[in-house]
Amino acid sequence: MNDLLKRLNMENISDLFDATYEKVLNDNEMPDWLMEEYVIKAANDCYISEEVLKLVLPALPLVRENSDLVLFAKILYDMLGIRKHHTEVFGGLEFPKAPEGENQLPYGLFSFFPMLPRVRDAYFELKNKGIDEELLKTTYSSIGGSIITSEQTMGRICFPTLYFLWTTTYKNGDIFTIGRFVFEIMRNYKLEARAFINKDGEIKILMEKGTKVHKSGLILGSAGAQDEEGSFETEYIETEEYYEGNLSCNDTARIQKEKVKLYKSEWSILCAPGDSFINIHIPGEGSFAPDVVENSLNEGIALLKNLYPETDFKAVMCDSWLLSPQLKEILKPTSNILAFQDRYNKFPIQASGLDIFNFVFQKPISNLSEIDLDSLPEDSSLKRALKEMYKSGKFLYEAGGIFPLKK
């Protein structure tokens, strides 16, 4: 495996890849999903557009000519058969890099081809369950969007790691576009927090034991929060009388160092690590008008509860730059975005502070050094405020949030 990584200009990768490498190493057959006929049919089956096909098909013969790319694509295909959240399967994933002077197209698009058959399998599995065809079309037709915009946002046609990981939710059959939002099923999710509710509907969030916290209250390792001086580790205990731990402040999405007690006579558990959730994703384009938000949430939650009555969803969750309490410093108090985030009880997550470049400026980056802040557009008040924030050395931190399902 190490020799393959060197040939593909890769460094570190999850140990899970080693076993899969040994499994596929002696498979000398060219998979059908690297053939034009299969790709065209599978794309049509899943409502992936002709525009996307025109972009990806020229890469196919170039991938087939590169035995190392074919081998790595086979490894991905095998691992994509694991129906788990991508964080459990593809932790630390990086993709091959084209040698200097070599055509980047096969390196940029090879990962799309092992993904496509897994997506197609999930599509037909859902269709055979009787899920509405129009809903499936709306959901699955969006898959190629990242490839269409990749040239504009990244300067080349590609299917990068970020979008590969996002698309794993489609191949798991766990995601649906319903109105304004995208709804993902999160079963047995390892949430790093516990939410509690009292008889008045008030919610408090205690962090799970062992979370390392920066002195600022952010998760240690978040952007600008790497220094360990003054940091602490969260604690959590449950006794016969109370729950005790480090509280996440809803107003700031930061963790308090002092522990609090929530007495069982007043508080009960709403959700905990290992529970199932409905996770909300927020497409870049669309209104946050209250009726649009309400209709999408009501329809999406109702549909998933009806489709999967055997799944005991405990709460709705989201993690996004749109939940950042810092937006209250930028947006007007009457902002619909602020009204949307106020639905959630917020807590910190490991925040890169980079999501705004993907979703606001449409310039996805993995490191702040990759972008010239002076060149960022200023065609909206939000963009101007964010640009000024980052030029001053600050970050807009992504945050997580939870709200209870209606009875």
pTM (2 d.p.) = 0.88
Q: What is the mean pLDDT of the chain?
A: 93
20-26 mean pLDDT: 85
The predicted structure's pLDDT at residue 162: 84
At residue 407 the predicted structure's pLDDT band, cuts being 50, 70 and 90, is low
Terminal alpha carbon distance of the chain: 51
Strand partners, 213: 219, 232
pLDDT digits (tens, 9 = 90+) for 68-116: 999 999 999 999 999 888 888 887 788 888 988 899 999 999 999 999 9
Percent of the chain with pLDDT over 90: 77
35-49, 71-85, 215-229, 268-282: range with lowest mean pLDDT: 71-85
7 pLDDT above the threshold of 90: no
The predicted structure's pLDDT at residue 167: 94
Which strands make up the sheet holding 345-348, listed edge to edge?
Answer: 175-178, 181-186, 276-281, 313-320, 399-404, 345-348
Q: What is the largest CA-CA distance in the chain?
A: 68
Q: 232-237, long-range: CB within 8 Å, 24+ apart, which pairs?
A: 232/257, 234/207, 234/208, 234/209, 234/210, 235/209, 235/259, 236/194, 236/206, 236/207, 236/208, 236/209
Contact in structure between 367 and 353 (CB atoms under 8 Å): no
pLDDT digits (tens, 9 = 90+) for 161-187: 888 999 999 999 999 999 999 999 999
pLDDT digits (tens, 9 = 90+) for 342-385: 999 999 999 999 999 988 998 888 889 889 999 999 999 999 99
